[in-house]
Chains A and B, each alone.
Chain A
Amino acid sequence: MITVREVVVPSTTDEAYEALQKNKFATLLGGGGFLRMGSKNITTLIDLSSCGLNDISEQEHEWHIGAMVTLGELERHSALNRDFSQLFKLSVQHIVGVQLRNVVTLGATVYSRYGFSDLITGLLALPVQVKLYKAGTMSLEVFLEKGVEGRDLLEMIIIPKGKTETFTTSLRNSDGDYSLLNASAALFDGNWRICLGARPGRAQLAVKAMEYLNKQSNWNEALEETARMASEELVFGTNSRGTGAYRKEMAKVLVALVLKEVANSETEHNH
């Protein structure tokens, strides 16, 4: 249960950032889904609904997705999903139900760097940039690894356009539950990216496996070895949903699966 003393609804990110810095107990409100699960006494709740962060906009060379866009909007955006082989739909479709996905926001998920996030695993397969109010623009992988100094707010993510094939999948004990393990892969302008999430730590790129696969001339012969390398280079932990050893074994399966899907799509579209 949360208690809130005061709500402010800034109309710009300047006002929102100022309110955030003014009170160290102030809390940003995205959709409020995760806030609902916890217990917190909040003096000032800063609702970002009116800051102009609600748009998905297609630019000439990139997509801009505002922090207050809901997961439901991402799931149903046909042009965005067309450009990235349904990645957004596939990433969020197992998260509880459509009603929750119409509430929870991209920004709250990404800024909070949740380890369990299905969406972050999908996004990390692409060369996504995050645009923060104070810290500026940086790659998603750097943001996930290092975070930012002080308290900042996410304005949008930026996804460059390119020749893209993607796929993402998850392993769950039951549908709608948190993932036990997530995997995603993309072939973006000829370069492979491979990501594992819900390890249960934050999603990470399997850099060595990516380098190995990028050097291969015959991808299909190298997919199994790449999946093995990805499971070896990342660290897997234990929680109530599964052990680290189980996750490591299943990582080989999921990575091989996502790589095969991407390789098959690439073959289909080029031949």
Chain B
Amino acid sequence: MKLNTTINGMPKNLEIRPDDYLVDVLRANGYLGVRQGCDTGNCGVCTVHLDGKSVLSCVLLAIKAEGHEITTIEGVPQQAATIANFFVEQGADQCGYCTSGTVMNILYMEQLVEDPTEEEIKHFLKGNLCRCTGYASQLRAIQAYFNLRRQQKSEGQVPRGGYEDENRKPESP
């Protein structure tokens, strides 16, 4: 069957099977930044955005993306690089397998919470498991990233939201 969707702003018409999961379809079509991990909806490495919301692509059947907009880590290169630099500075990269999913969830958090507290960061990142870091270095990196964003916003350099596209609105309500 055909899947009509948009991936990173590009309309796509993909051939899929009814029981294909989104993670498999994305990886089969070259979006290898989307990692495959637990395949049971627990680890968060497969996180992508569906219409701007973080979802687990290993839980979502690809048919659910029909007519919707998917964003993978490949679709947010500048933001990903910025966050990745903070991860490197804080030693939070290590094996890096979970990083792309974590970055996507950080960008989602940024849409919903302008200036997250430590508690809010932990709440949002609870669904992104990391076997290397123990999370302390990730937390430092995320806080440093939000400090930068706060500074940029106060200087009027960037709009609110993880995407640097003004057409992207935070979800309602």
B87 interface residue (CB < 8 Å to A): no
Stretch at the interface among A28-36, A115-123, A158-166, A210-218: A28-36
A128 interface residue (CB < 8 Å to B): no
A residues within 8 A CB of B55? 99, 102-103
A residues within 8 A CB of B169? none
With A and B bound together, what is the CA distance between A72 and B56 in angstroms?
13
What class of interface size applies to chain A in its complex with B? Answer: 20 to 34
Which residues of A140-176 have CB atoms within 8 Å of chain B's CB atoms? 175-176
- Give the residue name and chain of the B residue nearest to A3 (CB): B19
Stretch at the interface among B59-67, B76-84, B91-99, B147-155: B59-67
With A and B bound together, what is the CA distance between A223 and B124 in angstroms?
35
A residues within 8 A CB of B173? 76-79
B residues within 8 A CB of A49? 64
Given A5-B18, A72-B53, A103-B55: A98 touches B108 (CB 8 Å cut-off)? yes
A residues within 8 A CB of B21? 36
With A and B bound together, what is the CA distance between A86 and B109 in angstroms?
20
With A and B bound together, what is the CA distance between A57 and B136 in angstroms?
41
A45 interface residue (CB < 8 Å to B): yes
Stretch at the interface among B5-13, B25-33, B40-48: B40-48
B residues within 8 A CB of A33? 41, 59
Which residues of A1-42 have CB atoms within 8 Å of chain B's CB atoms? 2-7, 9, 29, 31-33, 36-37, 42
With A and B bound together, what is the CA distance between A75 and B171 in angstroms?
13
How near does chain B come to A92, taking the closest CB pair, in angstroms? 12
B residues within 8 A CB of A45? 18, 61
- Give the residue name and chain of the A residue nearest to B39 (CB): A36
Number of interface residues of B (CB under 8 A): 35
Question: Is A36 within 8 A of B59, CB to CB?
Answer: yes
Question: Is B18 within 8 A of A102, CB to CB?
Answer: no
With A and B bound together, what is the CA distance between A37 and B56 in angstroms?
13
A47 interface residue (CB < 8 Å to B): yes
Question: Is B41 within 8 A of A36, CB to CB?
Answer: yes
Given A37-B40, A79-B173, A175-B126: A103 touches B18 (CB 8 Å cut-off)? no
B residues within 8 A CB of A77? 173
| B-contact bits for A60-86, CB 8 A (1 contact / 0 none) | 000000000000100011110000000
* 7 extra interface residue pairs, beta carbon distance < 8 Å, beyond A7-B1, A29-B61, A100-B56: A32-B59, A79-B173, A98-B108, A99-B47, A99-B55, A102-B53, A102-B55
Residues of B within 8 A of A (CB): 1, 17-19, 21, 39-42, 44, 47, 50, 53-56, 58-61, 63-64, 66, 105, 108-109, 112, 123-128, 171, 173
> Mind listing 21 A-B residue pairs with CB under 8 Å?
A4-B19, A9-B66, A29-B61, A32-B60, A33-B41, A36-B40, A36-B59, A45-B61, A49-B64, A77-B173, A78-B173, A79-B173, A97-B44, A97-B125, A99-B44, A99-B54, A99-B127, A102-B50, A103-B56, A103-B59, A176-B127
User: 6 closest pairs, A vs B, by CB?
Assistant: A97-B127, A4-B19, A4-B18, A99-B54, A7-B18, A99-B56
